[in-house]
Chain A
Amino acid sequence: MAKPRVCVLRAPGTNCDVETAFAFESCGGTPESVHLFRLLEQPQRLQEFQILCVPGGFSYGDDIGAGVVFASQLRAHLFDALNEFLQADKLVLGICNGFQTLLKAGVLPDGQVSWQRQQSAPAQSTLTWNENGKYTARWVRLKVQSPQNVFLRGIDEIDLPIAHAEGRLVTHDSGLLSRWQSAGQAALTYTEWLADGSQLAPTWATNPNGSLGDLAGLSDASGRVLGLMPHPERYLFATQHPQWTRRGLRGAGAGLKIFQNAVNYFS
């Protein structure tokens, strides 16, 4: 197949769409920044794309809760369009606010399965306020737990930045985490920052928000849907790493790999 078309879906208040589209483009995709209102006018336009990406930001100001209004729009008006998209051999990526939106809409945790279920059953998991009660911007190190997820292929560990207030994954279902783990859905966990040989290292907590099972991201069981709180589109250049001047990093950033994997899936 030729270059996959990527729908970078932005709502009012989305603010990471430009760099996210740039990331896909750098990897050989053909991104288009599509305003939600256009999709509401013509829901079937979604089927023109191979990849759907909901980027970061503050959709609708996160006024009622992170991603809540955006999610309600998807559920109320785009059920059929998303249902068809999820059935096809296509990819869905939600970053930060996009992850919050996908989880609250029901595209995650189970892709097409939860998308169909959301009409009848309430959600079992949510993303809510960080344990420290604050918006927090810093870097984290992630361990890939779902290597079969298309976006995460060939990545073992990766450093990425987070910038969110509501990134703590919560559930009341005590068996949910282990079910996710056995189904390969516990996609990414926060892990310890690499020491650099000096006397001091970051004193921050490995898990920045108190998320269940140190989870930073979720995959559906098919491995074609990924939602994650950290921002891979903010590590496209080595100079974005917080320690690039210490580690002698130059050139491309490791975050690019996630977008490259998505584009490669269609080549």
Chain B
Amino acid sequence: MLWAVEIHPASGEVDREGERVVLSARELGAATVTAVVASRLFLLEGELTEAQVSAAAAKLLVDPVAEQADIRPVLAEPSSPSAPDGVTIYVLFKPGVTDNTAESTRKTLLDLEFPVTAVATARAYRFPATTSAADVQRVTDKLLFNQAIERVMRDALRLRTLDVGHSYEFELKTVPLRAKSDGELVTYSETGTLHLSLAEMQTVQRYFVDLQRDPTDIELETIAQTWSEHCSHKTLKGRIRYRDEQGERHFENMLKETVFAATQTIRQTLGTDDWCVSVFQDNAGVVKFTDDYHACFKVETHNHPSAIEPYGGANTGLGGVIRDPLGTGLGAKPVCNSDVFCFAPPDTPFDALPKGVLHPKAVAQGVVAGVRDYGNRMGIPTVNGAVFFDERYLGNPLVYCGTAALLPVDRVEKQVAAGDYIVSVGGRTGLDGIHGATFSSIQLDDESETESAGAVQIGNAVAEKKMMDVILQARDRGLYRAITDCGAGGFSSAVGEMGEYSGAEVWLEKCPLKYPGLSYTEIWISEAQERMVLAVPPENWKEFEQICAAEGVEATVIGQFTDTQQLVLKYGSQQVGEVAMAFLHDGRPPVIREANYQPPEAAPFSGAPQSRYDDVLSAILASPNVCSKHWIIRQYDHEVQAGSVVKPLVGAGCDGPSDAAVVRPLLTSSRGLVLSNGMNPRYGDFDPYWMAASAIDEAVRNAVAVGADPSRIAILDNFCWGNTDRPETLGSLVRAALGCHDIAIAYGLPFISGKDSLNNEFAVKNAQGEVTSRVAIPPSLLISAMGQMEHVEQAVTMDLKRPENMIYLVGATHPEMGGSHFNLVTGATGGTVPQVKTALAPQIFKALHQAISQGLVSSCHDLSEGGLAVAAAEMAFAGGYGMELDLPLMMEATGLDIPEVLLFSESNTRFLVEVAPEQTRSFEALWQDLPCLPLGEVTAHDRLKVFGTDGNTLIDSSIRDLKAAWQGTLDWQ
């Protein structure tokens, strides 16, 4: 028997979901949608009487004060026709999609001794008869459900059972690869969703010709997963012939010779003072922090899944990156998260969307909710982030999630031993996420939304939290020898990586499944979430299993590490695959790729002087990249774990934009961890080299501004690019990597880890299904920084503190308007892109850090988008005080007399610093020959005033108005 418990808000309570739909329908232009009644449903299956269902509703499902419910049976073919007075749309998950609420409900009802066999949740939306059929359809398609994971039923639920899964009959599948022609190899690679190139397929073919047999399907899948761009990063770690205006350069391994090489150079220079511990080898980079703990940091992307199902994509993106430090060394405990998003403008008209593309506002809302629900439930504070908007992210949003963690100093090394059990811990394996690794390595098109649904998943944060809790206990008892996360490629990648130097035998029939019916290959490559793989010595297994069972976490022996250097896969008594580890990890054929970079034609800055700049300043503050992100920040728990020191929003109104986050990750130590980021895709259109330089400079500026020690900042790279098969796209990436190399060395900042995501393009098709255009994202290099500070009480925030304090500008200003926000809001063009002065910048960071450590700085803010004027405005409205600045000294120092350049140039390595009058002498003494200009002072009034050469007013705006402009753009409900 199948029952529905339909729950509405009690009388007097607001129907928020219904209101949300009406509001969103208005934005969509569905004018006849004026009222919607929303409800949520539990579907209960089992030998249940109506009285039992009522009792279950009263005891567990329905809040007795805030909600009311009605109960009815669900039938496969309901006899009564739909209610005549409108349309009801039911939204259900597709069978097999993770439904956390349903699973909790099922377990709890069983615990309360209700005989349920299955539970599902659903939502219902009732439209009154006055709603047009077209509007119901439009709202249903655009607002109510996502066909990647959900399905709809009209007017009534028609269901026989909630059962999923089917019986599975073992059948070994062999692929006749040896006989295939080149053309057939290519076809097979595509239709079998292996996504391997012809050269790669030929290499695989030769391997099996030598073995004198054809491969099984699982062998091909294993090779395809391991060789996928997502797992092997074959493009950037491969051979590249690069040409630019300075000539030609050949790379054997591009990343190794740029980003990694910078770190090696820095470590050699540091010698015995080297504070890196593990770089580019484990799942996260590791550096020294205290005597007892190292700090780890990793940032990942989850772009393709987020394009199709933003909530699930972002949810599992964060869930995945949390497992990276947990799988680093013998397991690091996460202490904070970061997130950076790139979206198309949220005001994009609905009718401008290509087929198959979700609206950017829906993407943004889904992504933020996904990060919120996972991070908050995990109990890991999300402390730092950024959002960028550009038309080119339509169809290809970027979702970067990062996690910093602490690793005990004696838990860094891991090494599996032959005989160790291969143990799977955490969630069960299902059909979810099949082909995620290969899917994330290809381009999206309008069919992606339907074709790739299997690759989209929803996370279960509590399952991951439980898994983390038991793993950290087992780590402290020393019960396992190695650990890694099950990410892209599932068991295939995790076991393949861990057993690379030993060998492994896997017993696939032992893997616990969510439901029956999975083939041995599906078990092997499923990317079901919340799973880790550990190497547990047999003598520790019993104790390990007990720790897991004590907190309700499933742990299963699924195989054993060997010393055969072979990967052997079995299903019951049958061997279903055997591949040499050496072939798997080193057999991929090298490919030489072409990369060209041609600098764009330089164009002079077209801006013309104006008498006043109040409107420009307001417009930049209101621009989506600069504006307040409080809508996002306030939904994230940024205080859990009790380590918050500098919050994302600070100041008199607790609403000014912090430069970076400071946390105290150990309750027993005052040492601080600083998280910041730098990114500016707009500069990449001018020169990716200087874009990379600027991103690094910005990340460091942000960290140093709050008090981080510039000699202890580690950075991460995340390259998100378009299709690098095009030489000019790959060329721009190499150009950025060269920038990373040079600036990291000049600044002494080791890269400790990184990740890339290529092929971020969307193919727009016409009605005939022909590709009419491709939208590639702009070059998007995110630099994430993890800094340290001796004592968190030295931290500084960016809000003005006291009238009559002095304001200094430190750092040199140049006429660098290329890619600036001044150009963006005024329509001006041209100019040169900001560069960095590698000799000067480290000295500026050092002097500023001395000033902050000595307590000489009342507030400090870095200059980035919008330059001096924006930084001054933000400090003023964050602090609740006015500011008066005079530009003549700056004109004298720079030789520039163009006010818009002085106010809005985005030159790097600059800060505005507030210093109390009694500290100015000590402060100035630190700067000697370095650029440091007294520009003005803090005032008790509420205006920002900036004066030009002859005392003329350039800006005179109320800080209330400036703040209102800054807060208004993304003030979403």
Contact = CB atoms under 8 A, between A and B. Distances in A.
Nearest to B376: A135
Given A15-B640, A64-B108, A243-B651, 7 more contacts: A12-B552, A35-B550, A63-B104, A129-B66, A201-B880, A234-B640, A243-B654
B650 interface: yes
B634 interface: yes
Among A163, A170, A239, A250, which residue has the most Cβ atoms of chain B within 10 A? A239
Interface stretch (A1-9, A54-62, A86-94): A54-62
Nearest to A25: B667
Contacts of B651: 200, 243, 246
Interface string B94-131: 00000011011100100110000000000000000000
6 contacts: A13-B377, A58-B377, A58-B379, A133-B973, A170-B66, A171-B65
A69 B108 contact: yes
B645 A240 contact: yes
B523 interface: no
B243 interface: no
Contacts of B105: 63-64
A14 to B, nearest CB: 8
B63 A65 contact: yes
A236 interface: yes
Interface string B623-658: 000000000011111111110111101111111000
A124 interface: yes
A13 B877 CA distance: 39
Nearest to B101: A63
Nearest to A161: B639
B345 to A, nearest CB: 23
A264 interface: no
Contacts of A58: 376-377, 379, 461-462
Given A12-B462, A126-B65, A198 B101 contact: no
A266 interface: no
A195 to B, nearest CB: 9
B59 interface: yes
Contacts of B792: 239
Contact of B111 (A18, A76, A133, A134): A76
Given A128-B63, A245-B796, A234 B642 contact: yes
Interface in A1-39: 12-13, 15-16, 18-19, 22, 35, 37-38
Contacts of A73: 111
A203 to B, nearest CB: 6
Contact of B650 (A161, A203, A245): A245
Given A123-B64, A126-B63, A200 B634 contact: no
> What 4 A-B pairs have minimum CB-CB distances, sorted nearest first?
A15-B379, A198-B880, A200-B880, A19-B642
Contacts of B112: 72, 76
Interface stretch (A108-116, A136-144, A178-186, A217-225): A136-144
Contacts of A134: 634-635, 973
A62 B465 CA distance: 13
Interface string B951-964: 00000000110010
A100 to B, nearest CB: 11
A162 B628 CA distance: 21
B61 A199 contact: no
Contact of B654 (A13, A56, A242, A250): A242
A172 B65 contact: yes
Contact of A199 (B644, B796, B942): B942
Contacts of B799: 245-246
Nearest to B800: A198
Contacts of B111: 72-73, 76
A233 B641 CA distance: 9
A15 B653 contact: no
Contact of B16 (A133, A170, A172): A133
B465 A239 contact: no
Contacts of A37: 550-552
Contacts of A19: 640-642, 667
A157 B654 CA distance: 19
Interface in B512-558: 550-552
B550 to A, nearest CB: 7
A15 B376 CA distance: 9
A122 interface: yes
Interface string B438-474: 0000000000000000000000111001100000000
Contacts of B639: 137, 161, 163, 231, 234, 240
Given A19-B641, A163-B639, A202 B65 contact: no
A16 B381 CA distance: 11
A240 B667 CA distance: 12
A63 B61 CA distance: 10
A132 interface: yes
A68 interface: yes
B462 A13 contact: yes
Interface in A91-125: 122-125
Interface string B786-827: 000000110111010100000000000000000000000000
A22 B666 CA distance: 11
B294 interface: no
B104 A246 contact: no
B747 interface: no
Given A37-B551, A60-B462, A242-B650, A16 B379 contact: yes
Given A126-B64, A246-B652, A35 B460 contact: no
B637 A137 contact: yes
A128 B652 contact: no
A13 B641 contact: no
Contacts of B645: 239-240
A129 B16 contact: yes
Contacts of A129: 16, 66
B179 interface: no
A49 interface: no
B750 interface: no
A237 interface: yes
A22 B12 CA distance: 41
Contact of A128 (B66, B796, B879, B881): B66
Contacts of A242: 647, 649-650, 654
Contacts of B60: 64, 68-69, 72
Contacts of B377: 13, 15, 57-58, 61-62
A128 B68 CA distance: 13
B654 A139 contact: yes
B27 to A, nearest CB: 17
Contacts of A131: 14
Contacts of B879: 198, 246
Nearest to B333: A18
B366 to A, nearest CB: 14
A200 B550 contact: no
Given A37-B551, A64-B104, A15 B378 contact: yes
Contacts of B881: 198-199
Contact of A170 (B58, B65, B940): B65
B682 interface: no
A19 B666 CA distance: 10
B104 A16 contact: no
Nearest to B879: A198
Contacts of A199: 652, 880-882, 940-942, 959-960
A245 B795 contact: yes
Contacts of A198: 652, 879-881
Contacts of B637: 135, 137, 163
A237 B793 CA distance: 10
A252 to B, nearest CB: 12
Contacts of A172: 10, 12, 65
B825 to A, nearest CB: 25
B664 interface: yes
